[in-house]
Structure 1
């Protein structure tokens, strides 16, 4: 979607100038992956309007293949407006009847799902319309050679008047599920990783994000669940939090594709999230490779002492 963020450091009702950029869970993940050197494609639909043209140009410029995106001549490109703040950013969506909400399972006839190493989906797409829900179901049911990743991305406004229990069905069909403990508490009644794992036995891996505290990974190896692995988040002087979950997903997925060990996969997610927490945009620039390498190799004490600030990574 087209995303508008304040171009002035003022309360939203006083802002007169807004900056247009790009937002949306799956496109965010695709752009982050491209920035991390992973070939990625984004499949969606935009309107035949200036916003749609701008989105395709910007996402493509980020290194993402947009060749499979549909341009809908009848429906508009969705957009949203973000009020920026370090403690939280209210978001107002304008996407009813958007081009993306018109997608359906017929889209799969143009795609080869047997080639990607990872297919990433989100609960947002499933909530846009009944046809979008059927599309997500079709992707999860289709034969695949790689992993299917599913980020719950709970948006209560989208599920108003609908049954969120469908998220259990979708998550249990994925290979990897990512969810915030606050989201899981609302949807499934628990944010505890072990209890949540008992509720979602299907995925081979479950990542539960605990906000600024860190994240926990539980995997199935040789038919049995591993002990939970917890990795604290990197401390960050936050500019604005929206988009950090998508950044975490991309960092975690990129490290998974590299075959990294569980703790470093979680740290990779935290490092990518940290870069986005430092910007008003939904996609921040990855941290410099030497900084990432140093922090991935840091012992627990050095990791805990690190903080990302205006001056870069400092130790406190």
Structure 2
């Protein structure tokens, strides 16, 4: 029996502490884990797909929490590594206003930032995936993590693996110029590019020269599907043949954290199912809505059976 997963992803997953008010006032905190790539992995696993996560954690209790959580969600962590000389990263969420949450990172020198290309080799050796999912966060963590991403792109090419890149730009980790220089070099390997509309310039050649039609420029450069996230305005998919837009589903917004990752999980799930672009976009919009309507990075991710719940009439009791 093949051990090849549907999707391979890797990056830094941290322990997440969520307070109920200003940190300086103390109080209780909820403990969980968070990381863009592992959020996508959990979302895909709940939708019934085989997913492998190949990140690095410290040889500590925080790292055990990360691995235990992912295993409990059905994600394969057999290719993950424990670094005995670096800690697992930490993430603090501080709600300050009803719609404003401050995020504090403690990830400098963390195990996740020291992920090596060898870990990627081991993940592919255990079975080449159908899809490799990367984000623009991982290469910003440090030279070793960036080289691990480049190794993964080469291995994906060698194995005929589709590549999905979610730009996921983080200004605290690197500058827009640094991000553009790195990610533009990836684009010849990328099949599905996912970005918010303000991230598109990072993917354009010629030092991010403004383009009146960035979508056409990227498609002409070899991107098969360009998926543009528009937040509360929904999302648009551009292909060589068509442009398709879908509005966001109307839900009671509770927490927008993790919505982009849930959207990616939905899109890749439908792609793996062989669904058409319209169905991919609809599932992505749906899974993103579940995330917005739930607290936490990944906790609200739906199962396949739950996808239909957003189509139910308000106040419906599902028995």
Alpha-carbon distance in 2 for matches of 1:216, 1:157: 27
Helix, strand or coil for the counterpart of 1:96? coil
Is 1:215 equivalent to 2:232 in the alignment?
no
49, 66, 69: which is aligned to 1:38?
49
Helix, strand or coil for the counterpart of 1:4? strand
Matches within 5 A, 1:14-29: 14-29=25-40
Q: Which residue of 2 aligns with 1:60?
A: 71
Question: Deviations 1:152-190 (Å, cap 9, x if unpaired)?
Answer: 010001004972222222234211111011223566569
- Compute the displacement of 1:127 (Å): 0.4
- Compute the displacement of 1:290 (Å): 5.9
| Counterparts in 2 of 1:57 and 1:140: CA distance versus 1, 3 Å | same
How well do the aligned residues superpose, as a CA RMSD in angstroms?
A: 2.7
Question: Deviations 1:182-240 (Å, cap 9, x if unpaired)?
Answer: 22356656999952341462221110111111111122xxxxx1221111111121111
TM-score normalised according to structure 2 size: 0.84
Is 1:246 equivalent to 2:266 in the alignment?
no
- Compute the displacement of 1:241 (Å): 0.7
Q: Which residue of 2 aligns with 1:195?
A: 214
Residues 54 and 123, structure 2, Cα contact 8 Å, conserved in 1: no
Q: Which residue of 2 aligns with 1:174?
A: 190
| Counterparts in 2 of 1:116 and 1:290: CA distance versus 1, 3 Å | closer
Residues 216 and 229, structure 1, Cα contact 8 Å, conserved in 2: yes
Q: Which residue of 1 aligns with 2:139?
A: 126
Helix, strand or coil for the counterpart of 1:164? helix
Helix, strand or coil for the counterpart of 1:159? coil
Alpha-carbon distance in 1 for matches of 2:98, 2:15: 22
Tell me which moved more, 154-163 or 261-270: 154-163
TM-score normalised according to structure 1 size: 0.84
| Counterparts in 2 of 1:194 and 1:264: CA distance versus 1, 3 Å | farther
| Counterparts in 2 of 1:290 and 1:35: CA distance versus 1, 3 Å | closer
Tell me which moved more, 238-247 or 11-20: 11-20
| Counterparts in 2 of 1:312 and 1:273: CA distance versus 1, 3 Å | farther
Helix, strand or coil for the counterpart of 1:247? helix
Residues 180 and 209, structure 1, Cα contact 8 Å, conserved in 2: yes
Helix, strand or coil for the counterpart of 1:111? helix
Helix, strand or coil for the counterpart of 1:202? coil
Residues 116 and 146, structure 1, Cα contact 8 Å, conserved in 2: yes
Query: What are structure 1's unaligned runs of at least 5 residues?
Result: 220-224, 299-305
| Counterparts in 2 of 1:55 and 1:288: CA distance versus 1, 3 Å | closer
| Aligned positions, number | 295
Q: Which residue of 2 aligns with 1:97?
A: 109
Residues 47 and 74, structure 1, Cα contact 8 Å, conserved in 2: yes
Q: Which residue of 2 aligns with 1:301?
A: none
Helix, strand or coil for the counterpart of 1:163? helix
| Counterparts in 2 of 1:72 and 1:291: CA distance versus 1, 3 Å | closer
